[in-house]
Amino acid sequence: MKAKFDGYANKYDEWFMENENMYLTELSVVEMALKSVNTEKSLSVGCGSGLFEVSLKDRGITITDGLEPSEDMAKIAEKRGLNVIVGIIEDAKLEDEYYDCIYLNGSSTYIEDLESAYKTVYKALKPSGHIVVIDVPKESPFGILYQFASHAKTFDLPNFEGILPKSPYPIELITSTVMTTTPEKRDILENIGFKDFKYYQTLTTDPAYSDDYVEEAVEGYDKGSYIAIVAEK
């Protein structure tokens, strides 16, 4: 996971503020997944600007540590109270069996070697600790839309008229994604040794209507465009 967000820190926060209902919809699945596990000592991989962590604290979930490739993002996250290591999860030197929970909120989509990343997480988790992987799956409506946009390198095409969210995610951040399906991520995690999988989903509305209202998360992964996978070490 390279520092793909350098230079986009302000645009990242601005996009979520412009799409507040989508933000709260995504936050609902992050909250549900994290409240299903012990988060006493937790690490946010790809914590970005710490925007989600601030909102999680308001909902009773305190995250103290973050790992972020982008120096721009890390500086903002530190101002918001996170202890941030600047670097990528594939190369991170994390203490063995230190964390109760390590979660990746949207960051798996930017990691080229998921097996290496998840192995690093596995080593850093305490026995019976949990990994939480949350992102837009390749097979979901948003995933399919983003793949077409990434191929075209633009949203400004007649074929996209009438199907886009009111404010699409910055195309520069979509073209750098490496998307995988939920079963693909599950298989990687299972092969490493993770077990007892649980799934939570939200953002089931068509992209064009995704910011019309806040959608609460539910169990499963068969219809959502923002999916959480929870697994135990």
Q: What is the CATH number of the domain that holds 139?
A: 3.40.50.150
Number of domains making up the chain: 1
- Tell me if 41 is assigned to some domain: yes
- Predicted pLDDT of residue 173: 87
Q: Enter the pTM of the model.
A: 0.94
Q: Confirm whether 86 is domain-assigned.
A: yes
Domain membership flag for residue 4: no
pLDDT at residue 191, rounded to an integer: 98
pLDDT in tens for each of the 233 residues of the chain? 544 545 556 677 788 888 999 999 999 999 999 999 999 999 999 999 999 999 999 999 999 999 999 998 999 999 999 999 999 999 999 999 999 999 999 999 999 999 999 999 999 999 999 999 999 999 999 999 999 999 999 999 999 999 999 889 889 889 999 999 999 999 999 999 999 999 999 999 999 999 999 999 999 999 999 999 999 99
In a domain, 116, yes or no: yes
- Give the torsion through C-alpha atoms of 1, 135, 131, 84, to 10 deg: 50
- pLDDT of res. 9: 62
In a domain, 1, yes or no: no
Domain range for 131 is 9-232
Residue 205 in any domain: the answer is yes
- Is 59 domain-assigned? yes
